[in-house]
A and B are shown apart, each in its own frame.
Chain A
Amino acid sequence: MQNAHEAYDYLVMFVSISILFLVLGTGIAVFVVYYYRKRRTYVKEKEELRILFEKSLLQAQLEMQEHTLNHISGEIHDNVGQVLSLTKMQLNILGENDILSRTTLQAAKDSLGKAMKDLRDLAKGLNTDRIGHFSLIENAKDELDRLHNSQFMEVLCATTGVEHPISEEKKLITFRMIQECLQNILKHANARKIALSFAYTDTSLNITVQDDGEGFDVPAVIESSKGLGLRNIVNRASIVGGNAYITSTLSKGTTVKITIPYA
Chain B
Amino acid sequence: MHLTAYDIIYRAIILIGALTGFLYWSRLSAAFRLLALFLLYTFISESAALYMAFTRNFNYSVFKVYLLVQIAFWGGVYFFLLTNKTAKKLTLALSAALWVISCIYIFSLPEKKMPIIMIDVESVLLIFFSISYFYFLIRNPVEDNILKLPGFWLSSSVLIYNCGSFIYIASFNFLANTGITKITLNNVHNALNIFHYGVLLYAMLLQVKRRQYAKCP
**B137 contact set on A, CB distance < 8 A:** 35
**Per-position 1/0 for B133-176, Cβ under 8 A of A:** 01001100111101100000000100110011001000000010
Sorting the interface of chain B by its residue count into under 10, 10 to 19, 20 to 34 or 35 or more gives: 20 to 34
Q: Contact check, B138 vs A35: say whether CB atoms are below 8 A apart.
A: yes
Q: Contact check, B184 vs A13: say whether CB atoms are below 8 A apart.
A: yes
Identify whether the interface residues of A are mostly helix, strand, loop, or mixed.
helix
In the bound assembly, the distance between CA atoms of A20 and B147 in angstroms comes to 22
Total inter-chain residue pairs, C-beta < 8 Å = 47
User: Which of A4-12, A179-187, A189-197 contacts its partner?
Assistant: A4-12
Q: Contact check, A39 vs B160: say whether CB atoms are below 8 A apart.
A: no
Q: Contact check, A42 vs B142: say whether CB atoms are below 8 A apart.
A: yes
Question: Is A32 an interface position by the 8 A CB rule?
Answer: yes
**A31 contact set on B, CB distance < 8 A:** 134, 138
Question: Is A34 an interface position by the 8 A CB rule?
Answer: yes
Q: Contact check, B163 vs A10: say whether CB atoms are below 8 A apart.
A: no
**A218 contact set on B, CB distance < 8 A:** none
**A6 contact set on B, CB distance < 8 A:** 179, 181
Question: Is A36 an interface position by the 8 A CB rule?
Answer: yes
Question: Is A58 an interface position by the 8 A CB rule?
Answer: no
**A42 contact set on B, CB distance < 8 A:** 141-142
**A28 contact set on B, CB distance < 8 A:** 156, 159-160
Which chain A residues numbered 9 to 56 have a C-beta less than 8 Å away from chain B?
9-10, 12-13, 17, 20-21, 24-25, 28, 31-32, 34-36, 38-39, 42
Q: Contact check, B178 vs A9: say whether CB atoms are below 8 A apart.
A: yes
Q: Contact check, B144 vs A39: say whether CB atoms are below 8 A apart.
A: yes
Q: Contact check, A20 vs B184: say whether CB atoms are below 8 A apart.
A: no
Distance of A10 from chain B, by nearest CB (Å): 7
Q: Contact check, B188 vs A9: say whether CB atoms are below 8 A apart.
A: no
Question: Is B180 an interface position by the 8 A CB rule?
Answer: yes
Other-chain residue from A9, A10, A25, A36 in contact with B146 (beta carbon distance below 8 A): A36
Q: Contact check, B180 vs A13: say whether CB atoms are below 8 A apart.
A: yes
Identify whether the interface residues of B are mostly helix, strand, loop, or mixed.
helix
Distance of A13 from chain B, by nearest CB (Å): 5
Distance of B146 from chain A, by nearest CB (Å): 5
Q: Contact check, A20 vs B164: say whether CB atoms are below 8 A apart.
A: yes
Q: Contact check, A32 vs B141: say whether CB atoms are below 8 A apart.
A: no
Distance of A143 from chain B, by nearest CB (Å): 39
Other-chain residue from B147, B159, B180 in contact with A10 (beta carbon distance below 8 A): B180
A13-B184, A13-B185, A39-B144 are contacts. A20–B175 as well, Cβ < 8 Å?
no
In the bound assembly, the distance between CA atoms of A24 and B175 in angstroms comes to 22
A13-B180, A32-B147 are contacts. A24–B163 as well, Cβ < 8 Å?
yes
In the bound assembly, the distance between CA atoms of A9 and B183 in angstroms comes to 13
Q: Contact check, A9 vs B141: say whether CB atoms are below 8 A apart.
A: no
Other-chain residue from B146, B164, B181, B185 in contact with A32 (beta carbon distance below 8 A): B146
Q: Contact check, B163 vs A12: say whether CB atoms are below 8 A apart.
A: no
Q: Contact check, B141 vs A38: say whether CB atoms are below 8 A apart.
A: yes
Q: Contact check, B180 vs A12: say whether CB atoms are below 8 A apart.
A: yes
A13-B185, A20-B167, A24-B160 are contacts. A39–B141 as well, Cβ < 8 Å?
yes
**A38 contact set on B, CB distance < 8 A:** 138, 141
In the bound assembly, the distance between CA atoms of A9 and B138 in angstroms comes to 40
**B185 contact set on A, CB distance < 8 A:** 13
In the bound assembly, the distance between CA atoms of A131 and B99 in angstroms comes to 59
Distance of B78 from chain A, by nearest CB (Å): 17
Distance of B34 from chain A, by nearest CB (Å): 23
**B180 contact set on A, CB distance < 8 A:** 9-10, 12-13
**B141 contact set on A, CB distance < 8 A:** 35, 38-39, 42
**What are 18 of the A-B contact pairs (CB < 8 Å)?**
A5-B179, A6-B181, A9-B178, A9-B180, A10-B184, A13-B175, A20-B167, A24-B160, A24-B163, A28-B156, A32-B147, A34-B138, A35-B137, A35-B138, A35-B146, A36-B146, A39-B143, A39-B146
Task: Enumerate the 5 nearest inter-chain pairs by beta-carbon distance, A residue then B residue, closest first.
Answer: A39-B141, A9-B180, A38-B141, A42-B141, A9-B179
